[in-house]
Chain A
Amino acid sequence: MNYDYSAYYVLLSLVLFTIGTVGFIVRKNAIVAFMCLELMLNAANIAFVALSRRVGNLDGEIAVFFVMAVAAAEAAVGLAIVIALFRNLETTESSDAMELRL
């Protein structure tokens, strides 16, 4: 007799997601912001797996698999951009990259 604790896991993922978002908003450094993004994605993955287990089929896990693929791609491009940014502005502070502002 084992209980299904998916609700707690989803709650955990919600908390992690919120922390990730807050981090993304607060941190000025582009790379840290990017990391918070990863945090958010992982939170989503947890929820996926927990609920796929409750539902009973593997769709959730497949989704996680694809999320990881996308996260990897995104990481590559994101960091490339950060490097390009650094090369131009000599800084990784997202708050310094304000040229687009009117």
Chain B
Amino acid sequence: MPLVFVILSALLIASAVGVILFRNPIHSALCLVVNLVGVACVFAALEAHFLAVVQVIVYAGAIMVLVVFVLMLLNSKTEERTLSGVIQLVLSGIIGGCLVSVVGPFIIEQWPIVAREEPPISGSVEALGKVLYTDYIFPFETAGFLVMAALVAAAMLAKTKGGDPNHPRISEGKNDGTIQAGGEQ
């Protein structure tokens, strides 16, 4: 069992458990960041360097920032531990345990540890780029459209309808940043 794997998996599992057990959302967010960076490290360990960095940029850098951003914006309070919550935790824990115990052995016998002579392919940027833009050009484009659509949707959803009456929008030119005479801002 390679040392790196042990450390990383311990880190990941600990941070994952942290995400779900911390009662303060911000704490769990940060745990998730740690987890994501951990995953990036795993990618790096598996020679998928480009993915590692992209993982950091996309997940840690963009998504989690957004999440923390929203958490801050809505300043959600810590959740108190309720009985039904505990029951559900135990219940889902048990079911999760079943899943692992069932699929685990299957995985192990499906992909036995085997010695490999030829060096595994390296997930360098060039190699990935070559494959991405030749075989997978179509999915790549659709991913692009998908993200675009998501952005438009997000913008629409989050935008308050017609803006807040007593805070006219700067971009509409109605508010040049100076405080109105009425005093209310």
Indicate whether A and B are direct neighbours in the complex (CB within 8 Å). yes
**Chain B residue nearest in CB terms to A78:** B154
The residues in A between 68 and 97 inclusive whose CB is less than 8 angstroms from any CB of B are 68-77, 79-84, 86-87, 92
Chain A interface, >50% SS class: helix
Cβ contact within 8 Å between B62 and A31: no
Cβ contact within 8 Å between B16 and A79: no
Interface size class of chain B, counting residues whose CB lies under 8 Å from the partner chain: 35 or more
A-B CB pair tally, cutoff 8 Å: 238
Cβ contact within 8 Å between B63 and A69: no
Chain A 1-35 per-residue mask, 1 if CB under 8 angstroms from chain B, else 0: 11111111111101110111111011111011011
Cβ contact within 8 Å between A39 and B19: yes
Q: List 20 A-B contacts (CB under 8 A).
A: A5-B2, A7-B113, A9-B42, A14-B99, A19-B96, A22-B93, A23-B16, A38-B36, A38-B59, A39-B35, A53-B120, A53-B123, A58-B131, A62-B128, A71-B58, A75-B67, A80-B153, A82-B70, A83-B74, A86-B74
Residues of chain B touching chain A, judged by Cβ–Cβ distance below 8 Å, are 1-2, 5, 9, 12-13, 16-17, 19-20, 25, 28-29, 32, 35-36, 39, 42-43, 46-48, 50-51, 54-55, 58-59, 62-63, 66-67, 70-71, 73-74, 76, 79, 85, 88-89, 92-93, 96-97, 99-100, 103-104, 107-108, 110-117, 120-121, 123, 127-128, 131-132, 135-136, 139-140, 143-144, 146-147, 149-151, 153-158, 160
Residues of chain A touching chain B, judged by Cβ–Cβ distance below 8 Å, are 1-12, 14-16, 18-23, 25-29, 31-32, 34-36, 38-39, 42, 45-46, 49-51, 53-54, 56-59, 61-62, 64-66, 68-77, 79-84, 86-87, 92
